[in-house]
Amino acid sequence: MTLSLFPLNTVLFPGCLLDLQIFEARYLDMISRCMKQGEGFGVVCIVEGQEVGEAAGHFSAIGCEARICDFQQRPNGLLGIRVEGGRRFKVRHAQVLPDQLAVAEVEWLEEPAEQPLGSEHADLVALLEALAEHPLVVALGMTDSVSGQAALANQLAYLLPLALEQKLQLLELDTPQARLTQLQAWLEQIQGESGIAQ
């Protein structure tokens, strides 16, 4: 499967929403093509380089499909789009086209069936509910309560102010349970450090 890539300084997760402002010709063409064909594109995290200008120097080998769910002309005249994270993928082979658009052969990663939340997830659910009240999260429309482990893991991984390396580490984990366990470990570590500092 060949997928157009949009390297960004962010990590997109399945089921999460991201607003983008499009102004470079290569991405305007890509978005137009995706909308005509009813396809998505791939969001990959920039490991080295920048978002604007030359194709990003180095980007992550794992990414998330972005499906366009809304678009509008911004007051500044630029195209604004809202995408929702779809399937995770691994980049097998990437190349940069003459217009500097990166495209890649990708392998879709299997997602396990959604598992129900248990009482052991109560603290993480409460944390997500607190995050959902933040104005930026409200603006994205990501305030619905979650009903399963995958949704909880993906939204926390996406919304918490973690380092990009940590977010990529979470995206690479194959099960929601593994992501939740890692998140819990990091949160306990942060609480432990703040407890020592007091």
In a domain, 68, yes or no: yes
Provide the pLDDT for residue 118. 93
Residues 55-84 have pLDDT tens digits of 445 899 999 999 999 999 999 889 999 999
pLDDT of res. 53: 45
Please state the domain count of the chain. Answer: 2
Q: Are residues 126 and 94 in the same domain?
A: no
State whether 16 and 97 are in the same domain.
yes
What CATH number corresponds to the domain at position 77? 2.30.130.40
Residue at which a domain ends, from 75, 108, 141: 108
139 and 100 share one domain: no
**Within a domain: 23:** yes
Same domain, yes or no: 71 and 43: yes
With respect to residue 185, please indicate whether it lies within any of the assigned structural domains.
yes
| pLDDT score of 181 more than 60 | yes
Handedness of CA 131, 163, 180, 14 (dihedral sign): positive
User: How many degrees, rounded to 5, is the angle at CA 53 between CA 50 and CA 55?
Assistant: 70
Is residue 102 located within the same domain as residue 168?
no
pLDDT in tens, 131-164: 999 999 999 999 888 989 999 999 999 999 999 9
66 and 148 in a single domain? The answer is no
Please say whether the beta carbons of 116 and 148 come within 8 A: yes
Mean pLDDT over 82-109 rounds to 94
176 and 85, same structural domain?
A: no
Among 66, 83, 108, where does a domain finish? 108
Asked if 85 and 151 sit in the same domain, the reply is no
Same domain, yes or no, for 84 and 140? no
Tell me: do 7 and 97 sit in the same domain: yes
96 and 28 in one domain?
yes
Residue 198 pLDDT class (50, 70, 90 cuts):
very low
Taking residues 80-90, report their average pLDDT. Answer: 97
Same domain, 100 and 134: no
What domain range is 130 assigned to? 119-197
Nearest to 154 by CA among 171, 172, 136, 129: 171
- Which among 80, 108, 136 is the end of a domain? 108
What is the model's pTM? 0.91
